[in-house]
């Protein structure tokens, strides 16, 4: 940072997010902090506060650094929109036309997008006040819409990271092609993710589509525990929603309960399907086998991974799950489904097992193979997994790639 040449390349960036921080979005926090270690000045702007209790002190600290647009209230946002209209009527008319077009394509309607336009007016004004040279959003949903509308209103250039699967499920409704074509650049978190962006962007936009992986802090994984002895212990981590496939895991365990009665599963997370999962566990006679922990902080998650022989990720749809990276960095094999970017990281037979999504028999077979694998071989697989993820997903390496893209966009 003492090099004047490097200092002249550093720019102020605003991160525009929907809800931040959230327990399941620690990857954004790590990315922001890695960019700050490079010397970037990051303004954090979220539309709203998290409804979830923030149990991790690192998330609590991020919340203190974040400005919340909706805290301004309806009158404050109307004032921002009025100020924008007076100061730049032509740009405001262009923003209104774009918001109307986005709203007509969307399932959530025009009114919601007019609210996004008012939010964008605040973001544009805040960026001017802070000297922000570029805006970056995570997810191709409303945060990317606000970033794009802010740019149309006269705000700085913008980019965004697409994770999936939500964006890939509804590209037309989200006007994903418009967001990609207007952006300075866009990022997929895997090669699969970038390929999905290519489906909706104009050919002329393809050179502005990049792969930047979500990252882990390698220093946090310098020490790791060997695979434990004793009965098989599994851990599954994620929101309790349909796409995460936990119900398939319950059905797989039901197939194994008689042959592996000592097996234990820790389900980390929470969500709208918790009652359904608890009922399914009870009906399958698995109450003594399955433990629900709720959301845990980063250290709690690490402790549960340490105690397990492997992570199980039975998802139907994903981007590239952070918990897979964290488990591999902790030298644990992974059982995951053959979807999205997961096979780019998890190598079948080398760092874990890959099974078809939705196939509880195949998942049960993989768990049985795990149970029959000697501890020495599991440790070897875990070490291979650790080396692979540290080489591909170090957060400082990935943040440098993103930082170079930010500098180019700001120029």
Tell me the residue range of the domain where 351 lies. 220-392
What pTM was computed for the model?
0.90
pLDDT at residue 1, rounded to an integer: 44
The predicted structure's pLDDT at residue 7:
43
Within this chain, do residues 59 and 172 fall inside the same structural domain, yes or no? Answer: yes
Residues 236 and 255 in one domain: yes
- Share the mean pLDDT of the chain: 95
In this predicted structure, the answer to whether residue 89 has a pLDDT above a threshold of 50 is: yes
**Same domain for 246 and 210:** no
The average pLDDT across 375-381 equals 97
Orientation angle between helical segments 26-37 and 395-410, nearest 10 degrees: 70
Give the C-alpha separation, 177 to 147, whole Å.
14
Task: Please state the rounded mean pLDDT for residues 51-65.
Answer: 90
Residue 5 pLDDT > 60: no
**Which of helix, strand or coil describes residue 269?**
strand
pLDDT tens for 165-205 read: 999 999 999 999 999 999 999 999 999 999 999 999 999 99
Q: Are 87 and 190 part of one and the same domain?
A: yes
Q: Does 385 share its domain with 404?
A: no
- CATH number of residue 279's parent domain: 3.40.50.2000
Same domain, 199 and 279: no
Task: Indicate whether 4 pLDDT > 90.
Answer: no
Residues 202 and 67 occupy one common structural domain: yes
The verdict on whether omega for the bond into residue 321 sits within 30 degrees of 0, i.e. cis, is: no
User: Do 28 and 177 fall within a single domain?
Assistant: yes
Domain count, the chain: 2
In the structure encoding, which two tokens stand for residue 286, read together?
């698995």
- Residues 203, 226, single domain; the answer is no
pLDDT (tens digit per residue) in 255-309: 999 999 999 999 999 999 999 999 999 999 999 999 999 988 888 999 999 999 9
Give tens-digit pLDDT for 8-53.
456 899 999 999 998 878 899 999 999 999 999 999 999 999 988 8
Q: Are residues 208 and 341 in the same domain?
A: no
Q: Beta strands of 49-122 (E only): which ranges?
A: 66-68
Q: Indicate if 265 and 205 belong to the same structural domain.
A: no
Q: Both 370 and 398 in a single domain?
A: no
């Amino acid at each position: 940072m003492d090099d004047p040449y490097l200092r002249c390349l550093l720019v102020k960036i605003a991160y525009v997010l929907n809800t931040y921080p959230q327990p399941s979005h620690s990857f954004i926090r790590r990315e922001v902090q890695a960019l700050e270690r490079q010397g970037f000045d990051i303004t954090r702007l979220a539309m709203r506060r998290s409804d979830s209790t923030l149990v991790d002190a690192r998330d609590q600290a991020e919340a203190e650094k974040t400005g919340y647009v909706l805290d301004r209230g309806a009158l404050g946002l109307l004032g921002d929109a009025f100020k924008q209209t007076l100061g730049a009527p032509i740009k405001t008319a262009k923003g209104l036309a774009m918001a109307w077009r986005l709203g007509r394509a969307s399932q959530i309607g025009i009114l919601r997008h007019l609210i996004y336009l008012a939010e964008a007016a605040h973001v544009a004004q805040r960026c001017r006040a802070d000297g922000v040279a570029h805006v970056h959003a995570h997810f191709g949903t409303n945060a990317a819409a606000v970033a794009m509308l802010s740019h149309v209103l006269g705000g700085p250039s913008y980019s965004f990271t697409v994770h999936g699967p939500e964006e890939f499920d509804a590209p037309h409704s989200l006007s994903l092609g418009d967001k990609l074509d207007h952006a300075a650049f866009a990022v997929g978190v895997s090669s699969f993710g970038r390929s999905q962006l290519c489906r909706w962007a104009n050919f002329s936009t393809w050179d502005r589509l990049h792969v930047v992986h979500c990252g882990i802090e390698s220093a946090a994984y310098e020490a790791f525990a060997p695979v434990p002895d004793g009965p098989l212990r599994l851990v599954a981590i994620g929101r309790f929603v349909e796409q995460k496939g936990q119900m398939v895991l319950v059905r797989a365990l039901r197939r194994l309960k008689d042959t592996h009665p000592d097996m234990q599963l820790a389900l980390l997370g929470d969500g709208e399907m918790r009652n359904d999962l608890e009922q399914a566990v009870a009906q399958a006679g698995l109450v003594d086998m399955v433990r629900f922990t709720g959301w845990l902080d980063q250290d709690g998650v690490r402790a549960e991974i340490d105690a397990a022989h492997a992570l199980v990720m039975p998802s139907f749809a994903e981007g590239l799950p952070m918990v897979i990276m964290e488990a591999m960095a902790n030298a644990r094999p992974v059982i995951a489904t053959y979807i999205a970017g997961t096979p780019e990281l998890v190598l079948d037979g080398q760092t874990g097992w890959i099974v078809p999504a939705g196939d509880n028999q195949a998942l049960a077979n993989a768990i049985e193979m795990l149970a029959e694998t000697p501890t020495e071989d599991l440790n070897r697989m875990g070490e291979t997994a650790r080396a692979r993820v540290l080489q591909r997903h170090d957060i400082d390496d990935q943040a440098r790639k993103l930082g170079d893209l930010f500098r180019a966009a700001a120029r």
